[in-house]
C-alpha cells in the first residue's frame, strides 16, 4: 500500500459474522459481509487502505481503495464487530480475509479477498 489515502466513501458495511484464526505469518481476521455481492478477490487490486474513527457511532472504519478507484468500507462498531478489534490479535500486524458468504458456508473454493499486513492505529478518543 503506497501513498496517503483519503477516503471519499459515504457508507460502510457491517460484518454479519467474524472471528480470528492463526495464519502462517500473522493472525487472520475473518469477516462475512454478504451485502457485498460483488467481491474483488485479487489482493493485488487493493491499492491503499486506512483506518478512521467515527466518534458519533463509536466505530472504527476500515476503508480501502481498489486500483480502479472503487472504495469499500467496513464499520467496526464498538459493541458489535468492534469487539474483534479489542482482542489481543488486533494489537499487532494481522491479515483480513473478507468473504460475501456466511463463515460456516465458506469452503476453500469460494471467493475471498485477503488483505495482508494490516495494522490498526488506535484513535485516542476511542478509548478501545
Is 38 a domain residue? yes
User: What's the total number of domains in the chain?
Assistant: 1
Strands (E), the chain: 17-22, 27-32, 46-54, 59-66, 71-77, 94-99, 112-118
Q: Are 28 and 43 in contact (CB under 8 A)?
A: no
Tell me if 1 is assigned to some domain: no
Residue 37 has pLDDT above 80, yes or no: yes
pLDDT above 80 (res 2): no
**For position 1, what pLDDT does the model report?**
47
**Residue 83 CA neighbour count, 13 Å, CB half:** 8
The answer to the question of residue 95 being in a domain is: yes
pLDDT bracket for residue 7 (50, 70, 90):
very high
Note the pLDDT of residue 84: 97
pLDDT at 101: 85
Q: Cβ distance 93 to 119 under 8 Å?
A: yes
Res 108: pLDDT: 59
- Average pLDDT for the chain: 91
- 11 in any annotated domain: no
Domain around 92: 17-118
In this prediction, residue 111 carries a pLDDT of 77
φ and ψ of 26, to 5 deg: -160, 165
Residue 128 lies in a domain: no
pLDDT digits (tens, 9 = 90+) for 44-95: 899 999 999 999 999 999 999 999 999 999 999 999 999 999 999 999 999 9
Phi, psi of 60 (to 5 degrees): -90, 140
pLDDT of the residue at 53? 96
Beta-bridge mates of residue 59: 54, 77
- Say if residue 40's pLDDT is above 60: yes
| Predicted pLDDT at 68 | 92
Amino acid at each position: 500500500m503506497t501513498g496517503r489515502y483519503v477516503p471519499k466513501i459515504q457508507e460502510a458495511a457491517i460484518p454479519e459474522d467474524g472471528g480470528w484464526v492463526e495464519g502462517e505469518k500473522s493472525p487472520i481476521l475473518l469477516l462475512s459481509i454478504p451485502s457485498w455481492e460483488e467481491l474483488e478477490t485479487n489482493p493485488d487490486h487493493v491499492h491503499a487502505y486506512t483506518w478512521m474513527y467515527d466518534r458519533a457511532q463509536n466505530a472504527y472504519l476500515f476503508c480501502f481503495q481498489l486500483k480502479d478507484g472503487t472504495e469499500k468500507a467496513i464499520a467496526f462498531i464498538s459493541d458489535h464487530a468492534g469487539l474483534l478489534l479489542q482482542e489481543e490479535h488486533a494489537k499487532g500486524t494481522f491479515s483480513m480475509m473478507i468473504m460475501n458468504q456466511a463463515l460456516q458456508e465458506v469452503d476453500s473454493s469460494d471467493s475471498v479477498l485477503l488483505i495482508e499486513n494490516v495494522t490498526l492505529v488506535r484513535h485516542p478518543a476511542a478509548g478501545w
